[in-house]
Structure 1
Amino acid sequence: MKYENFEDVPVWNDGVDLTVAVFEATEDPAFRGRGDIANQIQRAALSVPNNIAEGFERGTTPELLQFLYYAKGSAGEVRSICHVIERIKAFGHLKSQISNLRSLARSISRQLGGWAFSLQESDIKGTRHLTSTSKASYQQKGKAEAFMEELKKQHEERLKQMKRERGQQ
């Protein structure tokens, strides 16, 4: 699926949800007097959707990939901090909330990894490099692939029909 705006990308929305959940969790009094841990997890969480947005807006596939990996790294940082927090007794009452944060960050990492893999396998250089000629070429390629898929489907149906007819004789 092609997205026109980063706000439409599901993993960006998940990143925003993660950020909001982190900011809400760090309002708990247990975070007070514990050094910079609240600020660190907040910055890591906020970095996830911000890096997705920045990479998306850059307009080239290599830059998008670079920022997706930054976002993936930030999601990993959130997970790591969650592991640390879970081991501190003062945060015991937040166990469920911290577990949910870690799960959401893990889901985001998987989504970003899948998106990055699909971009690495693509020959599209990004919207900044798209000309009317290359756009027409990509559209034609898509039509050709759809035609071949339909042709294959029809051929398979015809083979099944021929086998059924032979079985009846």
Structure 2
Amino acid sequence: MQPHPNVRAVQAALDDAGARDGSGTASAVRLLPEAVHTAAAAASALGVETGQIANSLIFEADGAPLLVLTSGAHRVDTAGLAARLGVTRLRRATPEFVREHTGQPIGGVAPLGHPAPVRTVVDTALAGYPEIWAAGGIPRAVFPTTYDELLRITAGTPAEVA
């Protein structure tokens, strides 16, 4: 079976970036037996802590897309994050807005592999884990990485988001 086009795009972006996982091995997208739509479900499927899951959340920030990679262990404080970023209006994006800017569905949005770069913020809480897991373009695809790699491959800005 050929991988989904989104999975191929994410893997190509990982390869192009020279992305590595926590052991220094090239990051590879893995397909789980079933779709996982929550951080808790992903953590259970992978046998890791919920906090190790990097939720990819797309927000509309003054009309532009903003990708917030947050630890699955907590929720984004939108008012606090908006203030830290100097954004007037920060709200969760609609499914249509998410797909328009990432080419990926909610529940499977990867940190990279989008049609165009998306401004990205990476939750500093993820730095507490030697290995973290992010979505791979569809709800059953994931890949391992580290906090430092996630910052590097996304050109993300570290921030406290909760």
Normalised by the size of structure 1, how large is the TM-score?
0.23
Larger radius of gyration: 1
Greater share of helix residues, 1 or 2? 1
Greater share of strand residues, 1 or 2? 2
Structure with bigger RCO (C-alpha 8 Å, 6+ apart): 2
Normalised by the size of structure 2, how large is the TM-score?
0.24
